[in-house]
Amino acid sequence: MNVSQSLVAHVILDAIRDSPNYEIKSIQRDVERQYDVQIGKKNASDGKRVEMNMVYGDWESNFRELPSYMKALEDSNDGTKVRWKFHKVDGCVTMTKKIFRYMYWSFGATRSTFNHSPPVVTVDVMHLRGAYKGKGIVAMVQIANGRIVLVAYAIIDEESTHSWYWFLKYLKKFVLRRRVTCIISNRHKGILTAIDKFDEKFSGWGVHRYCILHVRANLLSKIKKIKGVKTQSWNVRDSTVLLRETFDFFISGMKPNNL
């Protein structure tokens, strides 16, 4: 017996509305229970996709709704900031059809969170999944009880000097503002060059340091077979000195060595 996508979608309609993470094996089980017929994973997956599009919209419709959603988010949350970057066509942004490139946003509440947390911000990139490829940037701080709080976000097409500088510019404008800050990141060439430009544009903004987790991972990828390296990589003297100097910098207001 052939089971159509629409039939599968009909069976799982209520379940999809209640739980978008409805598992394929659960779909197979429910179809068999209701119609006494077994379906394969592909039929179950296709039926789920049809119903997900009906209930939540497809990738394209969701993407078209993003600007209005972000505008509503900005208007309804005091202090929330959203900024866009569009691709240029023949040197300018067309008003009839804007082509998305970057988007930045930060919530007003995170501004006060940063003001009451240590002036140390970690930035990192994650790969996005789905129909539209790209990357997400997050900036995070650690508050007094040890919890991690995200203070700014961005979606970019690719990790580059331009995209990193664009993000850092709005991070400073809307979150860091005049507060001297230590930014921690990995050693991606794009962010290193962006930080150099950032230093030129915003003299005295703070300091940049490497994430010890990334440094350790890079170290172990090269010499992981040497005995003792894995344990001793946490005790890198230079990183300890830099952390101490950075702490002294924030306490005394004096510039650390080698900055």
Domains, in order of start, for the chain:
5-56 (no CATH), 59-209 (3.30.420), 211-259 (no CATH)
Average pLDDT rounded to a whole number, residues 200-211? 91
pLDDT computed for residue 42 by the predictor? 82
CA distance 106 to 174: 8
Mean pLDDT score across all residues of the chain: 80
pLDDT computed for residue 34 by the predictor? 76
Instruction: Kindly indicate the confidence band of residue 129, based on its pLDDT and cuts at 50, 70 and 90.
Output: confident
pLDDT computed for residue 17 by the predictor? 75
- Residue 73 scores a pLDDT above 80: yes
CA distance 204 to 249: 12
- Residue 222 scores a pLDDT above 90: no
Name which residue leads in pLDDT, 159 or 21. Answer: 159
Instruction: Kindly indicate the confidence band of residue 187, based on its pLDDT and cuts at 50, 70 and 90.
Output: confident
The string of pLDDT tens digits covering residues 57-66 is: 777 777 778 8
The string of pLDDT tens digits covering residues 14-67 is: 777 777 777 888 888 877 787 777 778 887 887 777 777 777 777 777 777 888
- Residue 186 scores a pLDDT above 80: yes
Average pLDDT rounded to a whole number, residues 218-228? 66
Average pLDDT rounded to a whole number, residues 232-259? 50
pLDDT computed for residue 82 by the predictor? 96
Q: How far is CA 124 from the centre of its chain?
A: 7
- Highest averaged pLDDT of the listed ranges 38-47, 60-69, 174-183, 207-216: 174-183
Considering only CA atoms, which of 112, 116, 176, 107 is closest in space to residue 143? 116
pLDDT computed for residue 240 by the predictor? 45
Average pLDDT rounded to a whole number, residues 131-157? 90
| Contact (Cβ atoms closer than 8 angstroms) between residue 10 and residue 34 | no
What is each CA distance from 180 to 15, 33, 94, 159, 255, in whole angstroms?
50, 62, 38, 25, 11
